[in-house]
C-alpha cells in the first residue's frame, strides 16, 4: 500500500515545517502543491522554503518553472503523478504540502481534461485583463457560460473575483468557442495511492497575526526589489497574485507603498479564509492545532496505515 500524506491549511500556518519533520520521520520526499512556488523568478513573495529547509528534505516542484512558461493545473497533475510513481518505487510514503486547493485536488482526485490554449489567446486574455480589468473577464464568462456563472455565484462566489481563475475560464471559452463547464466531470480518475489528509488550523486572530508578521519579514527581505524586477512582466498569469499585484499598483503610482503593504496583508488574510473554506469541504481531513506536537500527528498517521494493512 502506498500513502500520500497531504498537509493542507491556510498560508503562514506552519505547513512547511511539519512537512519536513514528517519527511524525516518517514524517510521520504516532498512534493509541493503551492502553485506560486513553482516559479524560479518569485522567491520572497511566495515564501519559498529557505535553503536550510530545502537541504533538510528532498523537495520537488519548488522553483522548477519560469513565469514565461505556460503551466496549468493539468500540467502539474500529470507531472506530479509521474513523480509520485517514481517515488513510490522506493518508499511506501510521500508527502504533499501546499495551500493551493485546486492543485491539491488535481493530484488527489484528478483534474478534468482541457484543450491546450494557443499562446495568442493567452496574450489576448492577459491584455484584456490589463486594459479593462476583472469585469471584462467576468463578462466573457457570462456570455460564454452563463450556467457556470450561476453555479459559482451560489457555491463559490469568490472564484468570480479571482483574476487568475477568470483568465483561465476566458482562455478556454475563447479558444474552443465552448462553455468552460462543458469540459468538467468528463472522466473518472483512478489513483494508485491512499491519501492521508492532515490539516493545520488556528484561531483566526493567530492566523492573521502570523500573516501580518510574514509580510513584514518579506518586505525586510527585499520583496519590493523582487517585485520591481518583475514589474515589466506584470501581465503574465503567474504574477496575478497577492504580494505582487499590490506592489505593481505602487509602481504604477496608483497607491502609496504603505497602503500597498497594508493591502498585501489584507488580501493575504482574505486568501487564507478562502483556503480554509476550500479545505474544510473535504470530510476526510483530520485537523490539528498548528501547535500540536509533531509526534501526535505522526502517531495518527501510523494508526491509519496500520488499519489499512
188, pLDDT greater than 80: no
For the chain, which domains are there?
A: 3-111+190-221+273-308 (3.40.50.300), 119-183 (no CATH)
Mean pLDDT of 237-251: 94
192 marked ligand binding residue: no
Q: Is 14 annotated as a binding residue?
A: yes
The per-residue pLDDT for range 28-86, each reduced to its tens digit, is 999 999 999 999 999 999 999 999 999 999 999 999 999 998 888 889 999 999 999 99
Q: Does 133 belong to an annotated binding site?
A: no
11 is in an annotated binding site: yes
In the chain, the percentage of residues whose pLDDT exceeds 90 is 78
Q: Are residues 2 and 196 in contact, defined by beta-carbon separation less than 8 angstroms?
A: no
Contact 144, 173 (CB under 8 A): yes
The tens digit of pLDDT for each residue in 123-158 reads 999 999 989 999 999 999 999 999 999 988 887 787
- Per-residue confidence band for 20, with pLDDT thresholds at 50, 70 and 90: very high
Backbone angles phi, psi at 32, to 5 degrees: -90, 135
Q: pLDDT category, 164, cuts 50, 70, 90?
A: confident
308 pLDDT band, cuts 50/70/90, is: low
> Is 45 marked as a binding-site residue?
no
Q: Is 15 among the annotated ligand-binding positions?
A: yes
C-alpha 152/C-alpha 304 separation (Å) is 35
Lowest mean pLDDT among 107-116, 138-147, 223-232: 107-116
**Are the C-beta atoms of residues 238 and 189 closer than 8 Å to each other?**
no
**pTM attached to this predicted model:** 0.78
Amino acid at each position: 500500500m502506498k500513502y500520500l500524506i497531504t498537509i493542507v491549511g491556510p498560508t503562514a500556518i506552519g505547513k512547511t515545517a511539519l512537512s519536513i519533520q514528517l519527511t524525516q520521520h518517514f524517510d521520504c520526499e516532498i512534493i509541493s502543491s503551492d502553485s506560486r512556488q513553482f516559479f524560479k523568478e518569485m522567491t520572497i513573495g511566495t515564501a519559498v522554503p529557505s535553503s536550510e529547509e530545502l537541504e533538510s528534505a528532498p523537495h520537488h516542484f519548488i522553483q522548477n518553472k519560469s513565469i514565461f512558461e505556460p503551466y496549468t493545473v493539468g500540467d502539474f497533475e500529470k507531472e506530479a503523478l509521474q513523480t509520485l510513481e517514481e517515488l513510490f518505487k522506493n518508499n511506501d510514503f510521500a508527502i504533499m504540502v501546499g495551500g493551493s486547493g485546486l492543485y491539491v485536488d488535481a493530484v488527489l482526485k484528478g483534474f478534468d481534461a482541457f484543450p491546450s490554449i494557443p499562446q495568442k489567446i493567452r496574450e489576448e486574455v492577459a491584455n484584456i485583463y490589463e486594459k479593462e480589468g476583472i469585469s471584462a473577464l467576468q463578462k466573457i464568462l457570462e456570455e460564454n457560460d452563463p450556467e457556470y456563472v450561476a453555479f459559482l455565484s451560489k457555491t463559490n462566489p469568490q472564484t468570480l473575483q479571482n483574476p487568475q481563475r477568470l483568465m483561465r475560464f476566458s482562455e478556454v471559452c475563447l479558444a474552443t468557442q465552448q462553455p468552460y463547464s462543458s469540459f468538467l466531470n468528463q472522466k473518472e480518475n483512478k489513483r494508485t495511492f491512499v491519501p492521508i489528509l492532515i490539516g493545520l488550523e488556528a484561531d483566526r486572530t493567530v492566523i492573521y497575526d502570523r500573516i501580518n508578521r510574514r509580510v513584514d519579514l518579506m518586505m525586510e527581505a527585499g520583496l519590493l526589489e523582487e517585485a520591481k524586477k518583475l514589474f515589466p512582466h506584470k501581465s503574465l498569469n503567474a504574477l496575478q497574485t497577492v504580494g505582487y499585484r499590490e506592489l505593481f499598483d505602487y509602481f504604477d503610482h496608483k497607491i502609496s507603498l504603505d497602503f500597498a503593504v497594508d493591502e498585501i496583508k489584507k488580501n493575504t488574510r482574505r486568501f487564507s479564509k478562502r483556503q480554509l473554506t476550500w479545505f474544510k469541504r473535504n470530510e476526510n481531513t483530520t485537523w490539528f492545532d498548528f501547535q500540536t506536537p509533531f509526534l501526535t500527528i505522526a502517531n495518527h498517521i501510523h494508526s491509519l496505515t496500520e488499519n489499512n494493512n
